[in-house]
Structure 1
Amino acid sequence: MPADGQSHIRIARPSRDLAAAERFWCAGLGLSVVYRAEGGDRPGEHDLLMVGWPDASWHLELVHEAAHPVEPRPTEEDLLVIYLDEAVPEELVTRLTQHGGTRVASPNPYWNEWGVTIEDPDGYRLVLCRRGWSNS
């Protein structure tokens, strides 16, 4: 099957602390753990956490290798944007910050006008956008 609009997307990132990441993405945002694997202490073995919504065509993969950890290096423009097509619920923002996120201003005024930006425990940014989006 060629890559097309039906292809599943995996966004992979290193994480310092998978437990903290799970609290943010699952308890905070409401994603589910779709897969988990524990590695060992030898080089090349890593712990893996995949989170997403069960019916989504994407998931977020977070990895940590204890023997050779990769330090996350996000920038202010490394964004995962979720288009809500409605106002951003303040209860959701509160839940995300209670579960390890930090609300931050974006250097891009567009995201400050149309959404809320929250940094996850690894420093990557989630934007909850009140606008809708379609590629068609």
Structure 2
Amino acid sequence: MLSFTQVRIARPTNQLTKVIQFYTEGVGLPQLSSFTDHAGYSDVMVGLPHREYHLEFTQYEAGSPGTAPTKDNLLVFYIPHPIELSSAVERLQNLGYFPVAPENPYWQDKSFTFEDPDGWRVILFRGTWGEVE
């Protein structure tokens, strides 16, 4: 078995400013790094506090595809503390993002589903993985 120390999920967007606002101000992830106009690319990386998991968003100056391929492409955040979950939902709503019905009914009563500016779905799960079956 391989031993991994870090995981980064990267995807392009053509709305970098809005996407970063969604994930930092809305979801509440800290910005870890960024750069502007490196070989035509700009980038922002966000992550979970004290974890080795990162989300990277890049924008190419000539344009980058950004829309989600389906409504069931998900990024799931497990939030065990009800007050933190409520705060994240409220922050997203204050930014103009409101829950949408999940494609898969499994998520319906266990979480809140939001679409980021590119249409990618984000699940804010009430609890931790394996806790609710």
What's the TM-score, normalizing by structure 2? 0.84
State whether residues 79 and 85 of structure 2, in contact with CA within 8 Å, keep that contact through their aligned partners in structure 1.
no
2:105 to 91, 105, 109: 109
In 2, are the aligned partners of 1:101 and 1:118 still within 8 Å (CA)? yes
Q: Distance in 1 between matches of 2:2 and 2:96?
A: 35
RMSD (Å), alpha carbons? 2.1
The one-letter code of the counterpart of 1:133 is W
Q: How many residues align?
A: 129
Q: Is there any run of 5+ residues in structure 2 with no aligned partner, and where?
A: none
Mapped to 1, the partners of 2:97 and 2:69 lie a distance apart of 15
Higher mean Cα deviation, 44-53 or 121-130? 44-53
Structure 1: which amino acid aligns with 2:106?
Y
* Unpaired segments ≥5 residues, structure 1: none
Please state how far the C-alpha of 1:100 moved relative to its aligned partner. Answer: 4.7
Aligned letter for 1:24? Answer: F
Tell me the secondary structure at the aligned position of residue 83 of structure 1: strand
Conservation of the 8 A alpha-carbon contact between 1:47 and 1:64: yes
- CA distance in structure 2 between the aligned counterparts of 1:10 and 1:74, rounded to whole angstroms: 20
Give the CA deviation at 1:86.
4.2
Partner of 1:56: 51
Q: 1:32 is matched by which residue type in structure 2?
A: P
Partners of 1:121 and 1:100 lie apart in 2 by 10
Structure 2 distance, partners of 1:104, 1:77, is 12
Opposite residue 3 of structure 1, the aligned amino acid is L
What's the TM-score once normalised by structure 1's chain length?
0.82
Is 1:121 equivalent to 2:120 in the alignment?
no
Runs of 4+ residues deviating >4 angstroms: none
Match for residue 70 of structure 1 among 65, 69, 72: 65
Alignment of 1:1-136 (within 5 A): 3-4=2-3, 6-39=4-37, 45-87=40-82, 89-133=85-129
Question: 1:33, 1:49 within 8 Å by CA — same for their partners in 2?
Answer: yes
1:13, 1:72 within 8 Å by CA — same for their partners in 2? Answer: no
- Identity across the alignment (%): 34
Structure 2 distance, partners of 1:72, 1:39, is 22
Kept in 2, the 8 Å contact 1:79–1:125? The answer is: yes
